Structure 1
């Protein structure tokens, strides 16, 4: 997403320098685009006719070229592979309707979710749907990855941008390197990132090693990697916005040529003119109003190496879907909202939905909305007239009820414990339409989400924070010569190994 701004600015400068129509057409021809076929839904304009922009940025681990095999490894047995690979980087980029702010939300690749039925129009590989790691949906095409994120979050997704290993290298080379800081000496023996404590300018392979490093930062999981990636992208964004970065026509052409060759985008972004328009929108947002976050997660109760959607994530999703700013959101007082769910496996939660409104089809509408958000199948029935919507749960089932309530926007005051087992939702006359509680009765605007909950445990930071360092893991997350050690210990032990920026 941040690279798009550089592409568009490069094209504008080329035109001003007399690059001419040939260069424009050449760059336009570099872009590879794929249709989303409406799989991500669509944004609605606000009262002033302005529309937010939501883009899924995908980093693929596919080894689909000899260069990717060399950079990523793992091709010694298989050789160059076909297909899309897995989405090891997934960032939901939201640009507000009034272009005053933006939110970037990373979704950890280890998250377990429901992947919908998909068919890749290029490879024809298809699935009828399954429960698995969220990054695997890319195997069925970028549109399937978009559909999976849309189903999980409820956020309309208009566009996507996909980049592979070689693309990261060529882009960081073209921009002249990106400044990063590490809190301690670090050697990730898996990504091969090796840096001394302090600030470095990374490009080429070193930049790829940094954004791929998962064992070097945080707790050695994918979460630490997303935090480091936010710092990298924030630094790149500041460089794009700084004076003089793109004033050299030769360097500008190299950036634009490399970027357009590296990207795969949806057809809605499939031309230089469309990218220029998008870049203009991005450039309007100050760095202090661009908030980077990571989706809240909890451990998967069925697999300690996997994650499930955690407490606060529904609020984070809602702020993006509702076009709410998170700049300064952590300073706001919590608002009264739906119950925040304890991490649970939603696929194993079935809900009996009963219609007490007297309005035909209400139970079916809500049941469909729940299954569409990853909940297990349930049953529907009519119920005697009810004034108030109530979700009843059995002993020990409160976390499951909270997960359902959080998805539907149902306040905790509507939950009650019963004597039987299972979850039963009775839809009352206070909820005559819509699939989010409080959005009916002709209301076109959803209730504001709790921005305090949205940024809680989401590792929120703004793009103007230039003095932040990636926190090197204090745990034994790497291995050298068969010995487990911390990344700092590995750095000291590998004296003969040159640093990544050497």
Structure 2
């Protein structure tokens, strides 16, 4: 019989032992057949199983790779966090802070509860380290010295709303009364004396702050102090500061030597520029303050430029240099606080940052020294009262020129004594107001008494030539100008009326603002956005070379063999 499964002519003899296609032998686990549809399905299942095994092996390898990646990422994150924490701790460890001991007064919040910031920036002339001896000179006989003077003093005011700022320089040669104070670090103390304002730093930074507060009446919340090496570090950290000089200049004292035009100064060259007092203006400290304003304006523009603050390396360098270079008060004694201050300053546009120099007059007892001049007290009052010296466009503000009492010069609170009389019938009113005045720095000669008779209206009566003192008291108490009147007696008498039953600020009152036009008159005012301003080289014979008096430009020409400071 022919079987159709076989080829033609093939014969198969079937028996009981013959295998039937598809039938398993050797029991239930016998071998699968090697042909037919079942064999195809079996082969397919075998291929699927192989692919599954390969996928499993790849998955296991992928799992191991993922675990390795996760571990590496964790190590990276932990390392970065650790580096960040180390960096934070490192910067905090750099900072040297000193207590102000409450000697700078307290700022008053505005109507919205915002508080201005006032900082005294000091540049020390101390040769208290080998580095400063090398930079400043003068240690050949004495070696490293103790004590220092504040040859640079700038009151930096940032407004309560952070819309504007004022930087006022106080010439180091200003003669004033230095208050009694003691340096908590060295233990040095003074009972007070009359002398140069920069000398107060010998009794510690808090004493310098107290002296400036007493002179100006401006509350000082913070201070920042730099030494010679600090200026060098900060200048290098920003990659140099661009300045312009109006002529060739060689100051043989600070060793600044530059050709006419624009230069980028780093290191010692930057220090020579900010120290030069014989190279610019009239060759005195007054000319130096103006060139310092040009330098700082340029540095601020550099700080605010995108290239500086978005470069991690530059930011690290800045932070490390700043924290190493500065001594600050406890209120700024951490990285987060310094960052907060920088952020506040960064909010102010450069066109609304006004630089000014306190107006001065010759000291009648010493022609080489100066005293507070006409307009200075108005400048003090504008800063203390949180008034902007520019408009929103950055132009000089001339507001308040017609305000009642605005033409009278303000007098520092420390020079003002007030007799406070209680006309309310409420026990303790005079004492409360007198305490508030002395707390704001008014003279300890402030006294209290009962008014001769009950008063319904509060009045501040001042004697002839005492209008400036009355204005200072009125500002401190928010007493409107309408409540001031001139009398025939001497001094100031404040009668508290029933219209002021409580509190230490007159209810609803606003004191007359200062005349901001007068505040900047003869103060060499300029704004930080004025990038093309050049430091005016002195036309006078303010320097000496080989024993011959010369102008700085003549000295430059005579010293051709000496390299320029920026070479």
Q: CA deviation at 1:219?
A: 0.9
CA distance in structure 1 between the partners assigned to 2:175 and 2:435 by the alignment = 23
Matched, 1:452 2:510: no
Q: Is the 8 A contact 1:339 1:406 kept in 2?
A: no
Matched, 1:115 2:178: yes
CA distance in structure 2 between the partners assigned to 1:354 and 1:111 by the alignment = 30
Q: Which residue does 1:75 correspond to in 2?
A: 139
Q: Which residue does 1:320 correspond to in 2?
A: 383
Secondary structure in structure 2 of the residue aligned to 1:275: helix
Q: CA deviation at 1:60?
A: 0.4
Bigger relative contact order, structure 1 or 2, given CA contacts below 8 A and separation 6+? 1
CA distance in structure 1 between the partners assigned to 2:552 and 2:497 by the alignment = 54
Q: CA deviation at 1:46?
A: 2.1
Moved more, 173-182 or 147-156: 147-156
Mapping for residues 31-180 of structure 1, pairs under 5 Å:
31-83=95-147, 85-180=148-243
Q: Is the 8 A contact 2:413 2:473 kept in 1?
A: no
Mapping for residues 307-386 of structure 1, pairs under 5 Å:
307-327=370-390, 328-332=395-399, 334-336=401-403, 337-341=405-409, 358=423, 365=434
CA distance in structure 2 between the partners assigned to 1:147 and 1:431 by the alignment = 34
Q: Normalised by the size of structure 1, how large is the TM-score?
A: 0.83
Q: How many residues are paired up?
A: 468
Q: Is the 8 A contact 1:311 1:340 kept in 2?
A: no
Q: Tell me which of 304, 312, 321 is aligned to 1:258.
A: 321
Matched, 1:463 2:525: no
Q: Go from structure 1 to structure 2 and tell me whether the alpha carbon gap of 1:409 and 1:301 turns closer, same or farther (over 3 Å shift).
A: farther
CA distance in structure 1 between the partners assigned to 2:436 and 2:362 by the alignment = 27
Mapping for residues 183-332 of structure 1, pairs under 5 Å:
183-327=246-390, 328-332=395-399
Q: Which residue does 1:427 correspond to in 2?
A: 493
Q: Deviations over 1:174-220 (max 9, x none)?
A: 21100000111111111111111110000100000000011111111
Q: Is the 8 A contact 1:42 1:157 kept in 2?
A: yes
Q: Which residue does 1:27 correspond to in 2?
A: 91
Q: CA RMSD in A?
A: 3.4
Q: CA deviation at 1:158?
A: 1.2
Q: CA deviation at 1:445?
A: 4.5
CA distance in structure 2 between the partners assigned to 1:97 and 1:492 by the alignment = 49
Secondary structure in structure 1 of the residue aligned to 2:370: strand
Q: Go from structure 1 to structure 2 and tell me whether the alpha carbon gap of 1:18 and 1:454 turns closer, same or farther (over 3 Å shift).
A: farther
Q: Is the 8 A contact 1:338 1:409 kept in 2?
A: no
Q: CA deviation at 1:441?
A: 3.2
Q: Tell me which of 521, 541, 544 is aligned to 1:479.
A: 544
Q: CA deviation at 1:58?
A: 0.7
Matched, 1:441 2:506: yes
Q: Tell me which of 552, 558, 563 is aligned to 1:493.
A: 558
CA distance in structure 2 between the partners assigned to 1:346 and 1:251 by the alignment = 44
Q: Go from structure 1 to structure 2 and tell me whether the alpha carbon gap of 1:379 and 1:40 turns closer, same or farther (over 3 Å shift).
A: closer
CA distance in structure 1 between the partners assigned to 2:227 and 2:371 by the alignment = 26
CA distance in structure 2 between the partners assigned to 1:82 and 1:390 by the alignment = 49
Q: Is the 8 A contact 1:319 1:448 kept in 2?
A: yes
Q: Is the 8 A contact 1:211 1:228 kept in 2?
A: yes
CA distance in structure 1 between the partners assigned to 2:80 and 2:525 by the alignment = 38
Secondary structure in structure 2 of the residue aligned to 1:152: helix
CA distance in structure 1 between the partners assigned to 2:462 and 2:195 by the alignment = 28
Q: Is the 8 A contact 2:413 2:441 kept in 1?
A: no
Q: Which residue does 1:10 correspond to in 2?
A: none
CA distance in structure 1 between the partners assigned to 2:408 and 2:323 by the alignment = 42
Secondary structure in structure 2 of the residue aligned to 1:238: helix
Larger radius of gyration: 2
Q: Is the 8 A contact 1:432 1:441 kept in 2?
A: no
Q: Deviations over 1:438-477 (max 9, x none)?
A: x953356443221111111111111100000011111111
Q: CA deviation at 1:281?
A: 1.2
Give structure 1 stretches of 5+ with no counterpart: 1-14
Q: Is the 8 A contact 2:406 2:512 kept in 1?
A: no
Q: Which residue does 1:3 correspond to in 2?
A: none
Secondary structure in structure 1 of the residue aligned to 2:490: strand
Q: Deviations over 1:23-62 (max 9, x none)?
A: 1111111111111121112223222222211111111000
Q: Go from structure 1 to structure 2 and tell me whether the alpha carbon gap of 1:137 and 1:49 turns closer, same or farther (over 3 Å shift).
A: same
Moved more, 86-95 or 490-499: 490-499
Q: Go from structure 1 to structure 2 and tell me whether the alpha carbon gap of 1:391 and 1:271 turns closer, same or farther (over 3 Å shift).
A: same
CA distance in structure 1 between the partners assigned to 2:315 and 2:283 by the alignment = 37
Q: Go from structure 1 to structure 2 and tell me whether the alpha carbon gap of 1:346 and 1:450 turns closer, same or farther (over 3 Å shift).
A: closer
